[in-house]
């Protein structure tokens, strides 16, 4: 696949604070890229630089293999930005807000009106089109914020933590909407988050950033494969399990916790269908076993020694 965007060694400092310390990455056309990192990692700074709201101190951005010229009309039409801070005219109706956004992108007349209806349907706010934005709930504002940024049908959509602090229903609506634009319309989506579950669910490639640097990248499977411990089996510490502790420890690495044994299966037992008959033959009941798969949280912990969420 061809790269739609390439970042080359992007650096940005705010006075003494080095927010980005040399970010290089390639983004394939039609991909759903996740940028995952804790508070202050540099996600918003990176998005603002990609979109041209702030200039990097060093480095280059290529859009379809040419240096990007941010103020050119072509480039403006290509990008849609859903900023972390909601930017709407609270006193005005949903329609009025969309008309203003549309005007910025040169949309007018019938084309504008029909596109306004389309995006309002898409974000589930068509019925509320005449209401002032200030009467919307937090989740509705987040959905509406997305409607404003995709009105001009941009090819690349950047979303900066679009689901922070909203109800599960609005969150799911946002996921469905982004997935539809990605799968059905072939849009390229760049999505920042510090929720690993979102990144796991949505993104086909992930960049993990910390302190202004990319510390790992790849698909979810590739990232999980960086870990020695890809899954662990929790076994309830009841009398049977205690009596076969020696046998259990021959199946891999066995850690003894307060109420459980944690078993990290050895390579010959890395497939569950190899492990389970073994546990059964030792008299361990299925009811006392719990499997936990490694997550991006474990990847982050392993790379930094810290948790993603503070």
By CB under 6 A, residue 239 contacts ligand ATP: no
Minimum CB–partner distance for residue 222 and ligand ATP (Å): 22
Q: Which residue is nearest to Mg ion (CB)?
A: 44
By CB under 6 A, residue 42 contacts ligand ATP: yes
Distance CA 103, CA 96 (A): 11
Cβ distance to ligand ATP smaller for residue 41 or 133: 41
Surface-to-core class of residue 19, CB atoms within 10 Å of its CB (0-12 exposed, 13-18 middle, 19+ buried):
buried
By CB under 6 A, residue 34 contacts ligand ATP: no
Nearest to 233 by CA among 281, 200, 274: 274
Minimum CB–partner distance for residue 47 and Mg ion (Å): 8
Size of the site for ligand ATP (CB under 6 A): 13
By CB under 5 A, residue 163 contacts Mg ion: no
Give the distance between the most distant pair of CA atoms in the chain. Answer: 78
Instruction: State whether residue 229 is helix, strand or coil.
Output: coil
Cβ distance to ligand ATP smaller for residue 84 or 93: 84
**Do the Cβ atoms of 159 and 82 come closer than 8 Å?**
yes
Q: Which of 44, 48, 145, 163 binds Mg ion (CB under 5 A)?
A: 44
Q: Which two tokens stand for residue 20?
A: 């980005």
User: Which partner, Mg ion, ligand ATP, none, binds residue 202 by CB below 5 to 8 Å per kind?
Assistant: none
Distance CA 205, CA 207 (A): 7
Minimum CB–partner distance for residue 97 and ligand ATP (Å): 24
Per-residue contact flags (x/-) with ligand ATP for residues 182 to 221, judged by CB under 6 A: ------------x---------------------------
The H or E element that residue 152 is part of is none
Cβ distance to ligand ATP smaller for residue 40 or 124: 40
Cβ distance to ligand ATP smaller for residue 35 or 122: 35
Q: Which two tokens stand for residue 230?
A: 């890809």
H-type alpha helices, the chain: 43-51, 73-78, 94-104, 109-122, 138-150, 168-183, 196-202, 220-224, 239-243, 245-249, 272-281, 296-304
Residues engaged in binding ligand ATP (CB under 6 A) = 14, 17, 19, 37, 39-45, 84, 194
């Amino acid at each position: 696949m061809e790269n739609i965007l390439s970042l080359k060694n992007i650096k940005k400092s705010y006075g003494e604070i080095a927010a980005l310390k040399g970010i290089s990455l390639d983004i394939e056309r039609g991909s759903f890229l996740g940028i995952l990192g804790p508070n202050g990692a540099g996600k918003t700074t990176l998005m603002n630089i990609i979109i041209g709201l702030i200039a990097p101190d060093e480095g280059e951005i290529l859009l379809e293999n040419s240096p990007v010229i941010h103020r050119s009309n072509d480039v403006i039409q290509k990008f849609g930005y859903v900023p972390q801070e909601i930017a709407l005219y609270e006193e005005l109706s949903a329609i009025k807000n969309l008309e203003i956004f549309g005007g910025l992108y040169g949309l007018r007349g019938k084309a504008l009106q029909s596109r306004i209806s389309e995006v309002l349907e898409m974000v589930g706010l068509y019925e509320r089109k005449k209401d002032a934005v200030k009467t919307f709930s937090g989740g509705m504002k987040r959905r509406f914020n997305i409607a404003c940024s995709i009105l001009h049908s941009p090819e690349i959509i950047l979303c900066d933590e679009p689901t922070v602090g909203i109800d599960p229903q609005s969150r799911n609506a946002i996921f469905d909407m982004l997935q539809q634009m990605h799968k059905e319309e072939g849009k390229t989506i760049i999505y920042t988050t510090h929720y690993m579950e979102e990144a796991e669910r949505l993104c086909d490639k992930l960049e993990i950033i910390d302190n202004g640097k990319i510390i790992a990248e790849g698909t979810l499977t590739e990232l999980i494969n960086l870990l020695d411990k890809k899954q662990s089996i929790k076994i309830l510490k009841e009398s049977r399990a205690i009596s076969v502790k020696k046998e259990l420890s021959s199946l891999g690495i066995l850690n003894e916790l307060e109420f459980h044994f944690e078993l990290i299966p050895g390579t010959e037992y890395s497939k569950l269908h190899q492990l389970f008959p073994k546990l059964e033959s030792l008299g361990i009941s299925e009811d006392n076993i719990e499997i936990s798969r490694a997550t991006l949280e474990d990847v982050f912990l392993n790379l930094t020694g810290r948790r993603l969420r503070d």
